[in-house]
A and B are shown apart, each in its own frame.
Chain A
Amino acid sequence: MSSVPSPIRIARAERSRAAVLAEKALEALIRLSGVSAILFVAAIFFFVLKEAAPVLFSEGFSLGQFLFSTEWYPTSANNVRYGTFALTVGTLSVTALAMLIAVPFGLGAAIYLSEFCKPRLRETLKVVIELLSAIPSVVWGFVGLTVMSKLIVNATGAPVGVNVLNGGIILALMSVPVIVSIGEDALKAVPDSFREAGVALGATRWQLVYRVLLPAARNGLLAAVLLGVGRAVGETMAVLMATGHAVHIPGSLLDSVRTLTANIAAELGEAPSGSDHYRVLFLTGTLLFLITLVVNLTADFVVRGIRRK
Chain B
Amino acid sequence: MSAEPHAIETRGLSLWYGSFQALFDVSTDIRSGIITSLIGPSGCGKTTLLRCFNRVNERYGNVRTAGEIRILGESIYDPDVSLIELRKAVGMVFQRPNPLPISVYENVVFGLRVHTPRTDLKRSVLDEAVEKALTEVGLWKDLKDRLKTKATGLLLEQQQKLCLARLLPLKPEVILMDEPASALDVGGTRAIEELMFELAGKYTIVIVTHNMAQARRASDECIFMLMGKVVEHARTEDLFLNPQNPKTAEYIEGRYA
Interfacial residues, chain A to chain B (CB-CB below 8 A): 191, 193-204, 207, 211-212, 215-216, 309
B180 within 8 A of A: no
- If the complex has contacts A197-B100, A212-B100, A216-B100, are A202 and B88 also in contact, measured as CB distance less than 8 A? yes
Contact among B56, B101, B102, B113 with A200 in the assembled complex (CB-CB below 8 Å): B56
Q: Are A197 and B99 in contact (CB under 8 A)?
A: yes
Question: 19 extra interchain contacts, Cβ-Cβ under 8 A, other than A193-B98, A201-B111?
Answer: A191-B98, A196-B59, A197-B99, A197-B100, A201-B91, A201-B167, A201-B170, A202-B83, A202-B85, A202-B86, A202-B115, A202-B170, A203-B84, A203-B114, A204-B114, A211-B100, A211-B102, A211-B113, A216-B100
Per DSSP, are chain A's interface residues mostly helix, strand or loop, or mixed?
helix
CB of A65, distance to nearest CB on chain B (Å): 50
B94 within 8 A of A: yes
| 30 pairs of residues in contact across A and B, judged by CB atoms under 8 Å | A191-B98, A193-B94, A193-B96, A193-B98, A194-B100, A195-B59, A197-B94, A197-B99, A198-B100, A198-B110, A199-B87, A200-B54, A200-B92, A200-B94, A201-B88, A201-B91, A201-B170, A202-B83, A202-B88, A202-B170, A203-B84, A203-B114, A204-B84, A204-B114, A207-B114, A211-B113, A212-B100, A215-B101, A216-B100, A309-B150
Interfacial residues, chain B to chain A (CB-CB below 8 A): 54, 56, 59, 83-88, 91-92, 94, 96, 98-102, 110-111, 113-115, 150, 163, 166-167, 170
- If the complex has contacts A201-B166, A202-B84, are A196 and B110 also in contact, measured as CB distance less than 8 A? no
Q: Which residues of B contact A193 (CB under 8 A)?
A: 94, 96, 98
The chain B residue sitting closest to A200, CB to CB, is B92
Q: Are B114 and A199 in contact (CB under 8 A)?
A: no
The chain B residue sitting closest to A307, CB to CB, is B150
Q: Which residues of B contact A212 (CB under 8 A)?
A: 100
Bound Cα distance from A158 to B5, whole angstroms: 76
CB of B85, distance to nearest CB on chain A (Å): 7
Bound Cα distance from A215 to B101, whole angstroms: 7
Bound Cα distance from A216 to B110, whole angstroms: 14
Most buried by A among B85, B88, B111: B111
- If the complex has contacts A194-B98, A194-B101, A215-B101, are A200 and B91 also in contact, measured as CB distance less than 8 A? yes
The chain B residue sitting closest to A308, CB to CB, is B150
Q: Are B98 and A199 in contact (CB under 8 A)?
A: no
Bound Cα distance from A217 to B150, whole angstroms: 15
The chain A residue sitting closest to B89, CB to CB, is A202
